[in-house]
Structure 1
Amino acid sequence: MKKGIVLSVLLTLALILSACGQSAGSKEKNQTLTVGASAVPHAEILKKAVPLLKKKGIDLKVKVFQDYVLPNKALASKQLDANYFQHIPYLDLYNKQHHTDLVNAGKIHIEPFGIYSKKYKDVSEIKDGATVQISNNKAEQGRILLLLQSKGLVKIKSGIDPVAATLKDIDNIKHLKFLQPIDPAILPKAYGNGAADLYAINTNFALQAKLQPKKDALILEGASSPYANIIAVRKGDQNKKAIKELVKVLHSKTIQNYINTKYKGAVLPVSE
C-alpha cells in the first residue's frame, strides 16, 4: 500500500515537472535586433521604437556611431543586423567603393540639408567669390550643388545627373570658392569659428550643435529630396520578419508623430 502511494506521488511529481518544462520551452524568447545609428536623430527615433517592438517580441538594441564609415563596416561584418544613418546615394557609393552588397530595407525620414552662414542673413546678400565650406562626403556634393543651384548661385551642367554631380560639373555663376572639404562631423564647429562665408551642414550634425534648421539655415532642402534616410541591411535580410517589423514600426503614426513633434520640421517622416 505504501509502495503504491509513493509511486503515485512520484508519478504526479513527474507529470508536474514535465508540464512545467513544456510551458517554459513553449515560451519563446524575444528576438534581439542590433541596429547601428547616428546619435541624432536616428538613435533617438530608434529608442522611441523600443517599447513598440517589445510588444512584437523583438528586443531592439541601439549602438551609436559618430561617423559615416564604421556603421557600414559593422553591418557588412555581421556585427549589426541593420543600420540607420544614411541615404541611398551614400549607400550606393559605399557599396561601389568597398565592394559590399548592402541594401535599402525602407525609407524612414528626410533631414532637410542646410546651407548656413554667420555673415549673410539673406541669399541676395551673397557676394561674388564667397567662400563655401563643404564636407568630404562625396555622396553629398550633388546634394549641396542642387541647393546652391536652387538659389541661382551655381548651375549644374546639362546632361549631368544632379545626384552624382561634383564641383567639376557646374557653371560657377557667383564664382564661389569651395574650401578644402572636411569631415562632416566637424562642420558645426567650423561654422562656429566662422572662417568661411557659407557652410553646408547635415541636419543630424546641425541638431547636435543646437542649430535649428528651419530658423537658422540660409537655404534649406525641401521634402521632395531624393535623400531619404533608410534602414540598411545585408542583401536578403530585408525580407526577414524582424527587419520588416522594424520598418513597419518606424512608419507607424506613433513614430511619425514623435518625429514631427520632436524635430519641428528639421526632420520629416517618410511613410513609404
Structure 2
Amino acid sequence: MQLRALVTGASAGLGAEFTRQLAADGLALVLVARDAERLERLAAELRSARAVEVEVLPADLTEPADLERVAARLADAAHPIDVLINNAGFAVADPFHASAIDEERRMHELLSWVPLRLAHAALPGMRERGRGGILNVASLAGRLPSGSYAAAKSQVITLSRALHARYHRDGITVTALLPGFVPTEFHERMGVEPTSVPRAGWADASTVVSEGLRALRKRRGIVVSDWRYRLAAPIIPLVPDRIIAGFGLGRRIER
C-alpha cells in the first residue's frame, strides 16, 4: 500500500525539499501552495524523477474557503492522507509597533490557526486507521522573546507537544521541527540577505528536512534541526530577555 503525504507551502524552499525527499521514499503526494504554475512544474519534476502519484491542490490558506478545501482533502477517507507536513509560512519584517495589523493577523492565521485546523481535519481519519504523522515546521524563534512571529511559532510548538502527548498512544506522531536560518525564499521575502548572517549560521535545507522526517519516523515530539542550533538551544533560556530583544536575535533565528 502506497502512503500519501500532503505538504503545504510546497512550491519552494523547505516545502519543495520535503516533497522531493518524501517522493524519494516512495510516498504519493498532495502539493498545496498559492502558485498553481509552480506546483505543476514541481509535480512534473517529481513524476518524472520518482514515478510517484502527485496531486496539485492550489490554495491560499489564509482564505477560509481555500483552507476548508484543503481540510476536506485531509478528511477524505477514500483517498487518505498518512502524513501531513504543515510548512506554509511567512513573516512580517517590520517591527511590531510599525507593522500593518492586517499583515500581523494574516501571519498568525497562517502560522498558528492553519496548522491547528489542518491537524484537526487529519486526526480523525488517522485515529481510525491507527497510524499517521503530522510534522509542524515551527522555528527556534518560538523559544525566544522576539516578537509576533516568535509568539506564533511558540503556539505551534505547544500545540505539537500537546497533540503528540495525547495521540501518541493511537499510533500518531506529531513532531515540531525547529530550524534556525535556512537559505530559502522565506528570508529573501523578508529582505534578509545571506551576507547579513554569518556563514556559519545558515543550515542546509536538505539536512533540516531529513532531520525532521527522521524525527517523525522515530516518533519524536520535537527536534531542533542542525547541530549548531542544537548546541545553542540549551543556552537560550539562560540569556536575559532584554539582551535577546536588544540584539534583534529573534528576527535572525527564523525559518
TM-score (norm 2): 0.29
Q: Which has the higher helix share?
A: 2
- Structure with greater proportional strand content: 1
TM-score (normalizing by structure 1): 0.28
Structure with greater contact order relative to length (CA < 8 Å, sep ≥ 6): 1
